[in-house]
Amino acid sequence: QKEVEQDPGPLSVPEGAIVSLNCTYSNSAFQYFMWYRQYSRKGPELLMYTYSSGNKEDGRFTAQVDKSSKYISLFIRDSQPSDSATYLCAMSAAGANNLFFGTGTRLTVIP
């Protein structure tokens, strides 16, 4: 079983739609949860960083963590064509040296 599971998509939505991206994980020691956006042939760009359970909002982006279900989500409101990219979830345990990544979900927002 992989440490982090993420549906690779692809996911296509019309402009203005609400997008929901999700990851599940198996390691209950994970405490830090991140979402990265990666455009084609570019480096991952940090979007959201959260600690433990709860919600965090930043502009059109909302990150949710449910540690009891080992499930994290990223919501994108009013999606734009510029949001078209691959979205990677990542997580780590406290005191750990590395991040564990999902394989990424490829999102296309159609104008």
Note the residues at the interface with other proteins (CB under 8 A).
Answer: 4, 6, 8, 32, 34, 36, 41-46, 49, 88, 90, 92, 94-95, 97-104
**Contact of 72 with 33, CB cutoff 8 Å:** yes
What is the smallest separation between the CB atom of 15 and other proteins, expressed in angstroms? 27
Q: Which is nearer to other proteins, 61 or 101 (CB)?
A: 101
Q: Which is nearer to other proteins, 13 or 99 (CB)?
A: 99
What is the smallest separation between the CB atom of 73 and other proteins, expressed in angstroms? 18
Residues 6+ apart with CB under 8 A from 36: 44, 45, 46, 47, 87, 88, 89, 90
